[in-house]
Amino acid sequence: MGDTHLDELRNALENKGWKVISQDEGDGYSISAVWHIQRSTRAEPTALLFEGLDDMRTLPIEQAYACKVKGRKNASLYFGSMKEFRKALLGFVSALDRIEQDEIKKTV
């Protein structure tokens, strides 16, 4: 993925009011790292799992090839070419917005 993908993901999140509140190590197998993000304190933080399964090791987050929202099958982002990544990034952030709204509705 490289720092460019990470930087653009973080910037897109921050532009929509999301904050990376913590980063944890992965599971030592398929997850490189976990970002916990939050925008509203009315919803629990959302966990972004960075996928890094490789043949013999878990890739570092800078080499992860995708991320997904923990517990959500339809919210993921592939870190392929920058052109495709940038197109998909907008939809991914929109999906995060919808997930947050769903979580807030559950608490009301």
Provide the pLDDT for residue 65. 95
Q: What is the pLDDT of residue 105?
A: 87
Give me the amino acid identity at 78.
Y
Q: Is 43 exposed, middle or buried (0-12, 13-18, 19+ CB in 10 A)?
A: middle
Tell me the per-residue pLDDT of 34-45, one tens digit each, with 9 for 90 and over: 999 999 999 999
The secondary structure of residue 89, as a DSSP letter, is H
At 2 the pLDDT is 56
**Tokens read off for 21:** 């509140």
Contact in structure between 47 and 36 (CB atoms under 8 Å): yes
Place of tokens 């398929």: 30
Q: Which residues of the chain have pLDDT under 70?
A: 1-2, 108
Number of other residues whose CB lies within 10 A of the CB of residue 66: 17
Whether pTM exceeds 0.85: yes
